[in-house]
Structure 1
Amino acid sequence: MRVAIYNNETAESQRISKLLKAEMSKAGLVLDQNAPNVVITIGGDGTLLSAFHHYEALLDKIRFVGIHTGHLGFYTDWRNYEMDDLVESLVNDSGQSVSYPLLDMHAIYSDGSIDHYTALNESTVRNITKTMVCDVFINNELFETFRGDGLCISTPTGSTAYNKSVGGAIMDPQIVGFQLAEMASLNNRVFRTLGSPIIFGSESKLMLRLKDLNGHVMTCDRDQVRLKPSVGERKLVEITYQVAKKRINFAQYRHNNFWHRVKDSFIGGAK
């Protein structure tokens, strides 16, 4: 068993990282930051997102385990006082896992070049200077022309993050698909959009074609990508989204029920 440890820079996360490395060494587990079987993240959901992108090229070969050293996260199952139990689970590992869908993104330019991204949570497209206007195509057919602050495209597990804050629906992660939610759309007698979240299936393709190339910002999870109007003759034509072929895998030693996480995070002990 080869294990990588990926932690944030807080004092508590560094303490747990040091402790975990010592316990792993005693148990005969190999620390391998480059070609691991399991990646253990120490911090929170943000740390796991960073680790996901760091090890993105190895997604079909690795499983993740999350230790949270702050507030309970959606991707982090273990507490900082459970290192003995976690190490025992690693020693007795039999390859058990649970996987979730990811979002495949392509930014396509007029010279034929393509920038590719993969999102665990979501992608957003906004205009930071004025109303964003873009044509929305579903399976290569024009569906609507959107006008508003922007659009959020999320995975099922990412549906509880920024998507929820802009009025999107929470998706069961057993659904293989993705979601489109509007941000402050303009709806009046002149301009009209659907005005509701749209959930797409596993074979669906969403395409956004921007009407104006100035002032747009695209995000992939926590990373912001400014969409430049042009680089020479290279102009952005469209952004496409669909379910990625790869999935993220978590070692299912103690992977909590998704709906338990939703209840604990948003409802808690409310009566």
Structure 2
Amino acid sequence: MATVNQTGVSEFLLLGLTDDPALQSLIFSIFLSMYLITILGNLLIILAVSFDSHLHTPMYFFLSNLSFNDICLITSTIPKMLVNILRQDQSITYTGCFFWVCFVLVFGGLDNCLLAVMAYDCYVAICHPLIYTVVMNPHLHVPLVLLSLVISIVHALLHNLMVLRLSFCTDLEIPHFFCELAQIIKLACSDTLINNVLVYLVAGLFAGVPLFGIIFSYIHIVSSVLRMPSSEGKHKAFSTCGSHLSVVSLFYGTGFGVYISSVVTDSSRKSLKQWLQ
């Protein structure tokens, strides 16, 4: 394949979830419904936390920030996909694609950090209730969110700046419905060793450390709950962390699902191309 300098690349082509035109309307309906339900649900959470004084606690403060970030994350991916289906145009500009990658990395990374902060909040509340108000004092809430945001932005800019140094081939098809970092790196014709090492190294640190923190927190939470003498106390503790644990499972499960679908779709398309050739 011929190599072109990245400054000459005008657009990428998003292949989406399927090539079957008959399924496009179904996919559009499903994703539009998911988008509207997600937006409405998160807005209701934000409004409830804002107007109910009983919910002005650290846990609900972080939850409202997580809900706002989820709105930003889904808005940075789904609307463009829906517009592409309506217009029957899967192309996206070079600049637009890299902005898309940056937004997904920032909001996805911020979700990751906020879930770890919320796990720590649950850990302190259940395992060390006597010092909870001292550790999770009001002056700590905003700095934790801002620190998470700064880390996420640095993480996103690091990857984007490293990708900008690459040169791309004439085959600029992305086997996904949004611009994914790993898929863009695969399209490069120049050496991507540094980029691949950086992806795995930073992903291991940036995703692994918060995930380890969440697992560590819940090991201690479960251990503390099991030692509680009353069933009422156990029920209250599990109900406190149950919603957070559900969000954690949904977030990492969705991320894993997106990765698997990307790998499977990419492999099936390559197999089809080889068979046609």
Which category describes the TM-score, using the shorter chain as reference length? Answer: under 0.3
Q: Which has the higher contact order (CA 8 A, sep 6+)?
A: 2
Give the structure with the larger helix fraction.
2
Q: TM-score, normalised by structure 1?
A: 0.28
Give the structure with the larger strand fraction.
1
